[in-house]
A and B are shown apart, each in its own frame.
Chain A
Amino acid sequence: MSSIASLTITQIPAEAEALRAEVRAFLTEATAKIPAHIRAKSWSGFDPEFSKALGAKGWLGMTFPKEYGGGGRTAFERYVLVEEFLNFGAPVGSHWIAERQSGPLLLKYGTDEQKRTILPKIAQGELYCCIGMSEPNSGSDLASVKTRAEKNDQGWLLNGQKIWTTNAHHCHYMIALVRTSGTTEDRQKGLSQVLVDLSLPGITVRPIEDLAGDSHFCEVFFDNVQLSADALVGNEGQGWEQVNAELAFERSGPERIFSSVVLFDQWLAYIRTPAGKRPESTRLAGQILTRMAPLRAMSIAIQEKLARHESPIVEAALVKDQGTVLEQYIPAAIADDLLSRDEADVPFELMQTLTYVTHIAPCYTLRGGTRSILRGMIARGLGLR
């Protein structure tokens, strides 16, 4: 009746766990001097030097084949590293999208030339990518994208505009979903993915400041940008299928559970002190723990299915929706706990972290699919649509 497979409790394989101590020792030192309210940014924290240090350690592109500069390691080994990065609040934002999404996409659909030129630099932490999906007025309705790449004698001529493109102003390449034939009336038909070198003439990138004072979203304008013929990623007209495969596999990782965990740990440190400990805080800590642990167990079970080349798409949507609810509940509940006390008793750094996470939390619902989209996907998996 339902296509959701039951997930079975499992464990991260020992050879992957073996990496944890080394990466933890490195992160303990590397993040020691970063204040908590900055660590709370984690995968929005932009720090190329840090990315290069991880690249030098061989901790980026771990799952890429060795011939493309990767580590040829397993997805579980990468899982352990990412889990540690996020829990330490390491500034992984520079390489995040390239390493997690663009690299695997190119590995699956890219030409050999694209793989040889791009992947080794991603693995070294030196090349950053952004994803051009959304456009003004398209939002989650990606089939309505208008940006066009017209075939000409030199390759593709690109015109249009992307928006909400994370870190475009810091990135070297964009993988963009564009229309290569037909009109928006044709919906998902006629869409393709192209690799855009952001240094080309005709490209304007304009950062958009967010409510926390950061600028990681951007608007990107393409005005007669000439792409070479080999800019196409995968097959012409297959962009929709490629994008959906890409989105499906990014919904169940540790980043869907631990976005607020730096705040949670900092708050725990406070309520462990005699001044901070109160029964209702202990209860809240337990409530968060008992919601988080089953989600992590499900996330790992999904990883195992992915490693066996199954496609637990609905299960991943189910974990992401609940993970997001929890990640957004954490700052709300901690604010309620702390401000039921006298603010003078609450450490300032904790308040600063809380404020940052509170302000940024709406984006947890947006990245990787809004709540309505995910619930719609689950409903489809249940055979309701």
Chain B
Amino acid sequence: MDNMFSDALGQLLAEQCTPAVVRQIEGGADAAALWAQIAESGFADALVPESADGAGMVLKDACALWELIGRHALPLPLAETMLVRGWLAQAGASLPEGAIAMAPRARQAGGQVSAVGVRCAKVAQWVAVELGGETRLLAAAAASQTPAVFPLDAGLSWPEAVWTAAPVVPGAGDLQVAQAMVYAALLSGALMTCFERTLQFANERQQFGRPIGKFQIIQHELAQISEHAFSSRMAAQIACESRTLTPDPVRVAVGKARTSEAVVVVADFSHSIHGAIGFTAEFDLQLYTRRLHHWRVTAGSESHWHDVAGEALLADPSPLALDLIRRVSDAEASV
């Protein structure tokens, strides 16, 4: 069943979310048509229980779908939407139309509730906003926008009254943990895309009379890219390893830290192997490497999650680090 779902999503994204579409939406074009295609497909309800007409997936199943979203650089918060809809449906709440972004760690000041750098805020209808440990669902249109560094993002600010009147999202838990889990999976997909594109380029690009992939230095760089890409894929699985809709914070710390840490190496080697062409706007590599750097720092960079993992390790009562390592690296037992 899992493969059927990911094959279908992979096909949908390959057809609808082409590099040309990604560029248009990043450039400010309306994302409504792309969202409509996706909404039509039903993937936004992958984590909604079957009893509420969803696919009844849990986090563990969603990992592969989120990786595909990362692979295709989808310029919409579909992964976040899937998760928030899952939480809402699980609590029996009504499900809103449209894409849902996430804003963990919002702040309250001067009669406003605000969040900076909200990922995909410009292409979302709703925002799950966390303030003081509680998450509520706010309309994006009710916010005033401030600029953000990535074209799809924005800072958002709502009057306190909007926050107060907004419905609570039950089950969201620590929203930064949830968002970090999602981006670990997105990163793993984008890292894999960079790896595969760079491998293909090295096999095709000829210099000094042979493909550059025949040179040992390029081979060793690609070997290292593959090491980071495949470790990141495992780290993303660790982050999503839950048979419910609630992530485990220490597993997420492992997943997000490891995938974030892979970014600089993979992006650097990918660009170095591609040479000048990879640096151009017209060549697709930049769609992924710009996201790698952006997602690396989304929901906390590797150092943030190293701190979280380190605190967990120091608090662990076992004299062997092995015991915490086992707890996070073994799959969760089936019930």
Contacts and interface: CB of A to CB of B under 8 A. Distances in A.
Contact of B231 (A11, A322, A384): A322
Contacts of B254: 289-290, 293-294
Contact of A382 (B226, B233, B253, B331): B226
A1 B314 CA distance: 42
A375 B314 contact: no
Contact of B196 (A2, A265, A286, A293): A2
B325 A289 contact: yes
Interface stretch (A236-244, A295-303, A341-349): A295-303
A10 interface: yes
B194 to A, nearest CB: 13
A385 interface: yes
Contacts of B305: 286, 290
B1 to A, nearest CB: 15
Interface string B314-335: 1000011110111011111100
B244 interface: no
Contacts of A10: 330-331
A300 B231 contact: no
A289 B227 contact: no
Interface centre among B235, B312, B329 (most CB of A within 10 A): B329
B226 A291 contact: no
Nearest to A378: B223
Interface in A99-114: none
Given A265-B319, A283-B306, A289-B321, A384 B219 contact: yes
B114 to A, nearest CB: 28
Interface in B206-248: 213-214, 216, 218-220, 222-224, 226-227, 230-235, 237-238, 241
B118 interface: no
A305 interface: no
A292 B254 CA distance: 9
Nearest to A264: B321
Interface in A251-288: 258, 261, 264-265, 268-269, 271-272, 277, 279, 281-287
Interface in A295-323: 295-298, 300-301, 315, 318, 321-322
A285 B314 contact: yes
A297 B257 contact: no
A9 B306 contact: no
Q: What is the interface of chain A mostly: helix, strand, loop, or mixed?
A: helix
A12 interface: yes
Contacts, number: 176
Interface stretch (B104-112, B139-147, B197-205): B197-205
A372 interface: yes
A56 interface: no
A271 B30 CA distance: 53
A321 B223 contact: yes
A298 B238 CA distance: 11
B297 interface: no
A2 B302 CA distance: 28
A297 B309 CA distance: 17
Contacts of A2: 195-196, 199, 226
27 contacts: A1-B200, A4-B226, A6-B230, A11-B332, A87-B321, A88-B320, A277-B314, A285-B310, A285-B314, A286-B308, A286-B310, A287-B257, A287-B310, A289-B321, A290-B306, A293-B254, A294-B235, A294-B258, A297-B238, A318-B223, A322-B231, A378-B223, A379-B219, A382-B226, A384-B202, A384-B213, A384-B214
Interface of B: 195-196, 199-200, 202-203, 213-214, 216, 218-220, 222-224, 226-227, 230-235, 237-238, 241, 253-254, 257-258, 261, 302-303, 305-314, 319-322, 324-326, 328-333
Rank and list the top 7 A-B pairs by shortest CB-CB distance, nearest first: A286-B310, A286-B309, A379-B219, A286-B306, A282-B310, A378-B223, A290-B257
Given A261-B322, A282-B310, 18 more contacts: A2-B196, A11-B331, A12-B330, A261-B321, A281-B310, A286-B312, A287-B309, A287-B310, A289-B254, A296-B326, A297-B237, A297-B238, A300-B330, A321-B227, A376-B220, A378-B227, A379-B220, A379-B222
